[in-house]
Structures are given as structure tokens and as C-alpha cells.
Amino acid sequence: MRKKWGLMWLVAIMLTLLLAACSGDEESNTEGDDSDDTQNNEEDGEQVTLKFVHWLTEETANFEPIMEMYEEETGVKVEAIPLVESMSSEDYYKQLDLMASAGETIDVMMWSNGNDLVKRIDAGLVAPIDEFVEAEGIDINEVYNNSYSPVDGKDYGLPMKSITNAVMINKAHLDEAGLEIPTEWTWDEYREYAKAMTTDDHYGSYLHTWHDMFSALKLISKEENTALVNPDGTSNADDPLVKESLEFRYALEQEDKSSVPYSEILSQQMDYRQQFFTQEASMVPIGTYMVTEWGQFTPEFEIAWAPWPKNEEDGVNYADVNGDLISIGESSEHKQEAYDFIRWMTTKGISEQGIWLPAWKEADLDTVLEKLVNNTEKPDAMHLESLKNAITSITPTSNASLPSYITEVVTDFKAETELYLLGEQDIDTTVQNVQEKTQKIIDANQ
């Protein structure tokens, strides 16, 4: 109906202009410059409005005043639309796929990881931005701390947040167990901390259902080749750290009983925010987006942060530094305006927003962190010193391009991992199946 009335309005305006031009009215001739500008605007139709979809609540993201600021500066209206109430990116991707399958127009969208992005690139949902970047004359990797590699040689968005993997810890539980906030530690020490903080009332650890992260903790804690497929297209499923990562999670959940069992996570549909903020679990390895993204919760305790653990005591402290990407929808009819918006949002917009640490290299870390913490509902809940150390004391893992079929590999890895964690398959069978299925997918995509 909106499109119908918009068309009628446009026709009426054009007829009015035509009649005015034919009348030979002297007044109309004296206003030629202004009428030309008006006509150009009318030919563009209604005010450009961009539909920007994401998974965050307004209370968490504070998008509305930022969108109003952008409209005042540019005249382009941006509607920030949360597709879910759960703050779950997994739920968001399901709704995003439903929108796409229904043929709805999406101008701008957010991504939390490369795997889900690549899947939608393959489906034709995301537009490359190379022509806009080249026209502007910028190098994405020089302007941003960029953790997203090109896909088949093309870039599909700009980095917005900078997120460092770290460990979020309930400081009260640390104090009760007589433990200090770790400033440098290993996964073996993480395991000891989890056991020490486990009581009859709570577990010491929680590992979520994202298996390419939480069931591959040691694999993603080395310098490079941190995925099941290497950048050159060869299999990495035979890396010994794949098996060690699986055994590590199993030991926490089944042997030590210091981390929430995977069977309970599935049966009770648990969420990491709920487990941590209700103090059902003492610590969670997670990205630093959790500095502000508390969802419906307000912590009743102080949150400490520890750096991402190392594999070896004398090793380098590697951690993944990634972030949310913001992209242009292939269905958008306003791609230039969408690009202009994502450039603004990933620089001035995110800085004004004061919610996340920007990937924009010109942002000042100390100033931004203090602003982020002060903008939370409970600034005193954040142990700022440990947070700064968790971010600055690590070495980022190597950022390398992954093949588009990595999502297939992760799906099979998830299936085999669940069988193992649920006690339906032994570790050797699990690893062998992962290796065989990974290689099969690689071969099918050659």
C-alpha cells in the first residue's frame, strides 16, 4: 500500500511540474535553479530509508539516538531493527534467512562471525563492497583492525566492533576460592581454577554450544591455522590440538564435573548470559563484547577478566581478535547510501554510541573503555584494570581467508562432537570421523 500511494504521489507531483513548465509563468522561470533541485529530489522518490537488521536490544545497543544523529547529518533515515528479543545471533540468523526467503529488502545487516557470513554470501544475500572502497580510495586493513578476510577475493563489509577473546570471571567466586585474577595463564590452569570454584551451588565453568570455539579451545589458541580447513584449502582436522581440545572439554564436564555438562546445556536450552549472570557458572571464555552486552541481566557481583589462556606455559599468549561486521544487502536498492552509512557507523557512529570498542584504528583504547564501562547500568561491576590487561596482553592470531564451504565442515564437526560429549562415541572414532568428513567436503569442492 505504501508503494502504491508513493507512486500516486510521484505522478501527481510530476504532472504539477509539467503544467507549471507549460504555463510559461515568469515566476516559474525565475525559480529555475530551485525547481531543478526539487525535481531531482522528487525523481528519487521518497526520502531514502535504510533497513538495518541486527540481534541486539535497544537497551543494549542504544541505536536510536545514533540513527537520529545520522539522519540529521545526511538526510538519510536508518531504521535499526532487532530481529529477535533473545540477543542470540543464532536466532537472528534464522530470522534473517526467513526474511531473505520471503524476498524482503534488507539494506544493512550485521554479522558476528565469518562462518555465518560466508554461508549467506553463497546464498546471494550479501553484496561485495569493493567498488565503493576503491572509489573512496581506502585500505580496509589500514583503517580498521580487520579480522574478516576476503571471500573469493572480495570484501563483504566493514569491521564495526573489535572483540578480543578473553575469560569473564565472577570475582566473588574467585575470592571465595582464594584465587587471584589471572594475568597470564594456561588452559591447564583454567581447568584448575574451574575445579577450585565449583561448589554445590554452581559450576566453575561454562562452555557454550558454538563448537568451532568452545570445543576447539586449544586449536584456536595458536598463532595460525586455527580452523579445521587451512587457508590453502588443505585439511587441518589432523592437527593434534583438535583431539586435545575435545578431550579438554570432556574432562571439564565429565571427569572434573566443573563445567556444565553438554547434555544439560541441550536439554535445558541454556544460554551463557543466563548461566554467568545468575551465578550458575563462575567463568566463561567469551568475547569482550560482554563488557556491555548484558541482555536482560544486571550483575550483582564484580566482573573480572583474564587473558585468553595459552596452550603451553612458555608459549605465546595468542587470542582471536575479531568483531562484528556490518554489510550491505544484495537486495538493497540504495547500495551507495548503505555504504556511506556503514562507513559512518564504523567510525564516528560507534565512537559516539559508546557501547563497544571500535575496530577503527583511530579510536583511543583507554578513553573508549572508560566510556563503555561508564555507559553500563552498573559501572562498578566491571574490574577495569583486569579488562585492560586481558585486551592488551595477548598476541592476535593470524587472520587468513577461509573457503566458503567452511560452514559444511563446522556442521559435521558439531555433529561428531555432540556424539562424543554425550557419551555416544569415543574420542578416536570422533576424531577419525571429523578427519574423513572434512577431507570429503574439501574433495567435493575442488
Asked if 242 and 351 sit in the same domain, the reply is no
**Residue 165, strand partner residues:** 287
Pairing type for strands 77-82 and 49-54 reads parallel
Q: What is the mean pLDDT of the chain?
A: 89
Distances (CA, A) of 68 to 26, 71, 72, 76, 385: 40, 5, 6, 9, 34
* Last-in-domain residue among 332, 363, 394: 363
Asked if 173 and 156 sit in the same domain, the reply is no
pLDDT of residue 429: 98
Asked if 142 and 284 sit in the same domain, the reply is no
Asked if 229 and 117 sit in the same domain, the reply is no
Distance CA 443, CA 446 (A): 5
Asked if 254 and 394 sit in the same domain, the reply is yes
| Residue 202 grid cell | 554452581
Number of domains in the chain: 2
Q: Is residue 30 part of a domain?
A: no
**Residue 229, strand partner residues:** 235
Q: Is residue 277 part of a domain?
A: yes
Asked if 263 and 193 sit in the same domain, the reply is yes
pLDDT of residue 446: 86
Q: Is the pLDDT of residue 327 over 70?
A: yes
Q: Residues 362-414: pLDDT tens digits?
A: 988 888 898 889 988 999 999 999 999 999 999 988 867 778 788 899 999 99
How would residue 44 be classed by pLDDT, with cut points 50, 70 and 90? low
pLDDT of residue 17: 36
Domain span at residue 196? 163-322+378-444
Asked if 202 and 74 sit in the same domain, the reply is no
Q: Residues 276-320: pLDDT tens digits?
A: 999 999 999 999 999 988 988 999 999 999 999 999 999 999 999
Asked if 273 and 131 sit in the same domain, the reply is no
Burial grade of 432 (CB within 10 A; 0-12, 13-18, 19 or more): middle
Q: Is residue 227 part of a domain?
A: yes
Q: Is the pLDDT of residue 182 over 50?
A: yes
Q: Residues 80-122: pLDDT tens digits?
A: 999 999 889 989 999 999 999 999 999 999 999 888 898 899 8
Q: Is the pLDDT of residue 4 over 50?
A: no
Q: Is the pLDDT of residue 27 over 50?
A: no
The pTM assigned to this predicted structure is 0.74
| Residue 368 grid cell | 573508549
Q: Residues 329-351: pLDDT tens digits?
A: 999 999 999 999 999 999 999 98
Asked if 335 and 428 sit in the same domain, the reply is no
Looking up residue 286, the CATH number of its domain turns out to be 3.40.190.10
Asked if 155 and 174 sit in the same domain, the reply is no
pLDDT of residue 45: 57
